[in-house]
Structure 1
Amino acid sequence: MKQIFYLVLYYGFARYLPKSNTFGNIGGEIRYLICKQIFKRCGKHVNIERKAYFASGVDIEIGDYSGIGINAQIPNGTIIGDYVMMGPNCFILDVNHDVSDVSLPMALQGSTEKKTTQIGNDVWIGRDVHMTPGRTIADGSIIAMASVLTKDFPPYSVVGGNPAKLIKSRK
């Protein structure tokens, strides 16, 4: 029951408060306090930006000094490490359309099996990044804006494009 109260408070009120750098971060602080009650784990100094969507959020884990960007959509079960920066409009998928049977219309085939996305520590995800289900973003990685992440890359990778390709290594 307590969980439902905090979800209603978030989606009915706190989600629409001003972005975190407005009015002394009051909106960000309120969202943080509410999400600490919702998420499976919510580290210290976490920034949940306005209009972020995370379904029920009960299985989301987010580390210290990390953030969820404005209007981001994060599926339940996502694991976010420490010191993660996320730009606005990021979209993480946990399922996709099943299109394996060509004799059946795609609209009738349902969804693929749910997969969890894991984001390592010290990661920067640019604005408008889309991730296909089950991605693992390694420590120290940078995902350029408007990238479509369809595969995993080694730690300290700088990737970008549609589909995302390795641009360089930070090491």
Structure 2
Amino acid sequence: MKAQIDPELLEKASEIFVELGLPIEIAINVFLTKAIQAQGFPFPVALEGDSRYTAQEAARISNAEITEAIQHLVEQKLPFSEINNLTQLTYCQTTFGLSFPVLKLAKSSRPEDVRLAVKDAKGRNRYSTSKIAQRDGCSYVICSQWTDRHRPAFVRWQQTFGDSECA
């Protein structure tokens, strides 16, 4: 079966996803992942007017709540393809506007390995030392560099993966 995408629909959808900060390829993969999880059409994700969270509500989410939500999603819900995406700088820049990957693999959850993993190339801590996500024998430190401009993108991403509330 050869898939045909309507060029006009693709153009219109691309404009929306550019506004959301997502390349159309990632948006399509997210849709397909959610469709598989839902065994049908997933719930819609909208731009402005999405009644689940306003920009003011998104601005009230703390870094600690974001970190806890990411830990929960990594450990309980995210497909491995999305966990891998969260370790990629380009994906995190495009999706959230971050300057660091959301997740960074640590050698282990031992304190000395975590202390090494949380630092950037200049030796600055960029990841949480207290919240470590564990999944299938892997330990991930979670980015702690969220500012107000990143929060709405985080909320949209979080809603895409089925968690509409922070921890």
Question: Shorter-chain TM-score: what band?
Answer: under 0.3
Structure number with the higher helix fraction is: 2
TM-score (ref. length: structure 2): 0.23
TM-score (ref. length: structure 1): 0.23
Higher relative contact order (CA 8 A, sep 6+): 2
